[in-house]
Amino acid sequence: MASLRDIKKRIDSTSKMKKITKAMEMVSASKMNKAEQNAKSFVPYSEKMQEVVASIAKHTDATHPMLQSREVKKVGYIAITADSGLAGAYNANILRKLNNTIQENHTSTDEYTVIAIGRMAVDFCKKRGLPVARSITGLPDQPSFANVKDLASETVQMFTDEEIDKLVIIYNHYVSAISQVVTTNQLLPIEAVDTTTGTSSQYEYEPSEEQILEVLLPQYAESLIYGALLDAKASEHAARMTAMRSASDNASDLIDGLTLSFNRARQAAITQEITEIIGGASALE
Amino acid sequence: MTSLGGVTLKTLTVSVVTPDGPVLEDTYEMVSLKAENGELGILPGHIPLVAPLAISAVRLKRDSGEEKLAINGGFLEVRPEKVTILAQSAEKPQDIDVNRAEAAKKRAEDRLQSKDDHIDRLRAELALRRATNRLDVAQTR
């Protein structure tokens, strides 16, 4: 049985650890609220964008490379992860999904490339030898559009330049504070524009539908990437909060157990002392 | 609708939306802005229109005065009583960081002047235009 001092030490270190995880939980909770708000304030932009794209797609027969599927020679995968761990299975889920998708669909590294967002994805690709076309790390907890603008437009440009023929994004979709779902979406070519949301009003296009699409579609694709990132950030903070909460709970359990054995050990020591004293006293009689 | 000296003036609702959230939503009498192929003035009752915007200032007019916004990379959607501007960034004069814009302008100018072939001229030019546009708008505050 561990000595009293050892148990005391473990109780102390565990409660210090619990303090830290508790603090991290609270920090993540407030970050998650902020991230959720960010994701919400992005909604009007994306909805409007969606509406205009849909109404153009509905009323005209103008075409654009981004709307047409072509023979797929190379696929780009955007993987959104966090920069650090301590977020439960958040990163592992994304990376497993990425790895499985690649193994199912591709046989050689020429057929795909990864656009890595977050240090975990970058490190994973480096370790596994996956080709990385673009990467970004050190994004702030509440990213603004300007933070990812360059990455998003370069990625969309890769599609325009026919460097990749399909663009898929893998990220954690935020359902609620305790539930995040790994989601895989095809971004380009734009497949299903929901034409039901388009307004019935017939627009005049200045200068022409084709040129509008030329400007609009890259912006649309970029905004989808940004939207996914906001969603992923909210999930990240939520995952971290949940992970830290269960760490705190585990610490409490551990402390309870240790306290119990501490008391038992103390009791045993006292009992032993008494027995010794009684033994000593009866020897004197 | 606002009334001025017994005459009823028509107004239109203008909303400016960026990926970072809505910037402005209010009623005005006229919007004038620069589309990619020329200036546009929009009054209430305009036909539905979609047009891409240049990096420029959007001027919003009403009887209490004129307001300006620095717009970058977006397009506009017009309906008879509503104008929606979707931009990658939109700033009011008071929100513009003048020092940052000046630094960006200087950086872009240096890049354009350098003889280095590796720089992306188009990107530097766009950066320069964004910076000058911000500075122009900021001056009107």
Q: What is the CATH number of the domain that holds A113?
A: 3.40.1380.10
Report yes or no on A1 lying in a domain. Answer: no
Q: Which residues of A touch B49 (CB under 8 A)?
A: 203-206
pLDDT in tens, A211-259: 888 888 888 888 899 999 999 999 999 999 999 999 999 999 999 999 9
Domain that holds residue A106: 25-242
Percent of chain A residues past pLDDT 70, beyond the cut = 95
Residue A118 has pLDDT above 60, yes or no: yes
Contact A4, A267 (CB under 8 A): no
The CA distance from A71 to the nearest CA of chain B, in Å, is 30
A75-80 β-sheet, strand order: A132-136, A112-117, A75-80, A166-176, A179-188
Q: Residues of B numbered 5-64 whose beta carbons fall under 8 angstroms of chain A's beta carbons: which are they?
A: 17-22, 35-37, 40, 47-52
Chains A–B, number of C-beta pairs less than 8 Å apart: 78
Report yes or no on A81 lying in a domain. Answer: yes
C-alpha B103, offset from chain centre: 21
Contact B63, B29 (CB under 8 A): yes
Average pLDDT over residues A32-53: 88
Q: What is the mean pLDDT of chain B?
A: 84
Q: Which residues of A touch B35 (CB under 8 A)?
A: 206
Q: How many domains does chain A have?
A: 1
Assess B84–A contact: CB distance below 8 Å, yes or no: yes
Query: pLDDT confidence of A166, banded at 50, 70, 90?
Result: very high
CA-closest candidate to residue B27, choices B63, B76, B58, B77 = B63
Contact residues for B33 (Cβ-Cβ < 8 A; gap 6+): B39, B40, B42, B53, B56, B57, B58, B59, B71, B76, B85
What is the pTM assigned to this prediction? 0.84
Assess A16–B contact: CB distance below 8 Å, yes or no: no
Report yes or no on A258 lying in a domain. Answer: no
Do the Cβ atoms of B86 and A45 come within 8 Å? yes
The CA distance from A17 to the nearest CA of chain B, in Å, is 37
Structure tokens at A164: 């990749």
Report yes or no on A107 lying in a domain. Answer: yes
Report yes or no on A99 lying in a domain. Answer: yes
Report yes or no on A156 lying in a domain. Answer: yes
Q: Please, what's the largest Cα pairwise distance for chain A? A: 115
Average pLDDT over residues A163-175: 93
Tell me the DSSP string of chain B. Answer: -EEETTEEEP-EEEEEEETTEEEEEEEESEEEEEETTEEEEE-TTPPPEEEEE-SEEEEEEETTEEEEEEEEEEEEEEETTEEEEEEEEEE-GGG--HHHHHHHHHHHHHHHHS--TTS-HHHHHHHHHHHHHHHHHHHT-
pLDDT in tens, A3-28: 889 999 999 999 999 999 999 999 99
From CA A243, how far away is CA A177, in angstroms rounded? 11
Assess B95–A contact: CB distance below 8 Å, yes or no: no
Average pLDDT over residues B117-140: 82
Do the Cβ atoms of A226 and B19 come within 8 Å? yes
What chain A residue is nearest to B75 in terms of C-alpha separation? A216
In the prediction, which pLDDT does A124 show? 94
The CA distance from B91 to the nearest CA of chain A, in Å, is 13
In the prediction, which pLDDT does B6 show? 45
